Amino acid sequence: MKGEPVYISPPPIMGGFPRDKVFKLNKSLYRQADAPRMWYDKLKASLEARGFTTCKADPCLFISKKVV
């Protein structure tokens, strides 16, 4: 499901909104099955952009050669 668009029906509180229309979500929902992976991919990209690398023994461990 990664990268696939997600659509939801309008909530009932939105009276007057056509019931045959849907919303396309721009961000993942936390209750989606792939949300943890999407969060990790975003974190990894952000850390790698700052010079961190993943540990070969544990890919959830990020290492930086620079002193912070």
Tokens representing residue 8 in the block: 């939801």
- Residue 51 β-bridge partners: none
How far apart are alpha carbons 6 and 28 in whole angstroms?
8
Residue 23 phi/psi, 5-degree rounding, is -100, 135
DSSP 8-state code for residue 57? S
Over the stretch 6-65, which tens digit does the pLDDT of each residue have?
788 877 766 777 778 888 877 655 566 777 888 888 899 999 998 999 999 998 899 998
Residue 61 phi/psi, 5-degree rounding, is -100, 125
3-class DSSP state of 42 = helix
> Model confidence at 4, in pLDDT bands (50, 70, 90)?
confident
- Residue 27 β-bridge partners: none
Put simply, whether the predicted model's pTM sits higher than 0.75 gets the answer no
